[in-house]
Structure 1
């Protein structure tokens, strides 16, 4: 049984979400980027341009949707996924230039807006109490069917025994950035989102968050890969993401390399 689906409009946060393929500029490669990187990628692209004089275009969305678009021939030159399994599947199908490289391990956080009936409680005890006493109205996660952070949110809720009880209250974002918007904009009482988004100053004043134990869900091993037709600028950006300046940016948004945090 799928969680209840509610259709809500996305506003604020300034997040570009890939619903269709835009008409790309001819002189800058397009990078498909998982939406948990919505804020970190801005700094990465700006720093890359400042350091190299080269530019890339970014489109943000859910990892699963991007994988489907790549199979359908979308004109991306590089893919930064939130779950490495999607990259490895594409590589096995011969659609990428090798298997790529791990660039980060993500974490999951609970986030609640100012004035919420919920507490930012990483144990999810208060969420369970809110389900029992009727305080909870709506709770946001990304769609588990194609968004890795949504799947990990489901796993965490299953770990705590809350999944079945919370399903009627779920608001599903198309990706984790949209789930974050729902969680902090008054469309929900809170949500489980990427820790990287919870750390972003743009999220809003008064928003509180807490990390969810990583052992409650499968790891969020994030892998990037070049597509077969990647040009020199995309290849330069792929290399740049693995440099110390880029890793410093990712670290500020709560990302670490697997085994390093």
Structure 2
């Protein structure tokens, strides 16, 4: 009788995992270590709070930085489970390098760039647009470092396509991330900056400045993607995070912070 009861208990647990995947996921605590592009900080912080409420047994650890630096670290098997990049190229390279499978790649949003100034600035950025970078009041222009930050490359491409790069290149100050570029302007270390729209819409900057959206045809489309790494500790927990970000709740938060859906 004891063996029979043990058999039925075991089968019930197996069937619960088959029919209710979340039941298996919730059975024991799991860690998900995320390497995330800096432009995601404000949107992802909010999404993470909701995700933790939905999955209390998953411990979410998020580290923010530049996508290029993360790619270099992940190429050497840095201890992360999920990579959320500011472009789709770095995740694709990891798949190409055999560090993740093609089926674990995903696209979660499309970002945009803006020219941002503090609210007290005399520069009429809304009227002047890209020409505001040529203002006599501008001594330093902050952007993310194009060498390893996709948003820095977007800023550089926009300045080149709109004909101001040669005039302003000697006034550029480079942040390690697009987040740091915004901090340079906010602190007064730079007079104006080209940052992500998600940062300009974040609570920390929303009421502190004014901005002009750079036209989408001025720089390569900022399609942003992610990937689950082949050495993820818990694939089911990592997949749960991916599904949440790609689901309606995650996308609603991303849209509120200026990330468009890839289909839009």
TM bucket normalised to smaller: 0.7 to 0.9
- Residue 20 of structure 1 corresponds to none
- Residue 119 of structure 1 corresponds to 124
Cα distance in 2, alignment partners of residues 204 and 189 from structure 1: 17
- Residue 154 of structure 2 corresponds to 152
Asked if the contact 2:108/2:245 (under 8 Å) is kept, the reply is: yes
Does 1:100 find its partner at 2:102?
A: no
Asked if the contact 2:99/2:230 (under 8 Å) is kept, the reply is: yes
Q: 1:182 aligns with which of 181, 184, 187?
A: 184
Does 1:252 find its partner at 2:256?
A: yes
CA drift at 1:239:
1.5
Asked if the contact 1:55/1:233 (under 8 Å) is kept, the reply is: no
- Residue 31 of structure 2 corresponds to 28
Asked if the contact 1:111/1:120 (under 8 Å) is kept, the reply is: yes
User: Residue 129 of structure 2 aligns to a residue in which SS?
Assistant: coil
Asked if the contact 2:87/2:222 (under 8 Å) is kept, the reply is: yes
CA offset digits 1:135-173 (Å, max 9, x no partner) = 211110000011000000000000111111111111100
Aligned length: 231
Does 1:167 find its partner at 2:169?
A: yes
Asked if the contact 2:105/2:228 (under 8 Å) is kept, the reply is: yes
Asked if the contact 2:131/2:164 (under 8 Å) is kept, the reply is: no
User: Residue 173 of structure 2 aligns to a residue in which SS?
Assistant: strand
CA drift at 1:27:
5.5
Q: TM-score, normalised by structure 1?
A: 0.85
- Taking the TM superposition and a 5 Å limit, the aligned residue runs for 1:132-151 are 134-151=136-153
**Larger Rg, first or second structure (1 or 2):** 2
Q: Decide which structure has greater helix share.
A: 2
Q: 1:241 aligns with which of 227, 241, 245?
A: 245
Cα distance in 2, alignment partners of residues 29 and 52 from structure 1: 11
- Residue 50 of structure 2 corresponds to 47
- Residue 216 of structure 2 corresponds to 214
Runs (5+) with no aligned partner, structure 1: 1-25
- Residue 3 of structure 1 corresponds to none
CA drift at 1:101:
0.8
- Residue 109 of structure 1 corresponds to 114
Q: TM-score, normalised by structure 2?
A: 0.84
User: Residue 29 of structure 1 aligns to a residue in which SS?
Assistant: strand
CA drift at 1:242:
1.0
CA offset digits 1:223-244 (Å, max 9, x no partner) = 1110002213222111111110
Cα distance in 2, alignment partners of residues 92 and 104 from structure 1: 22
- Residue 15 of structure 2 corresponds to none
CA drift at 1:190:
1.2
Cα distance in 2, alignment partners of residues 198 and 256 from structure 1: 15
CA offset digits 1:55-108 (Å, max 9, x no partner) = 310000011110000011210100000110111111101111325111000000
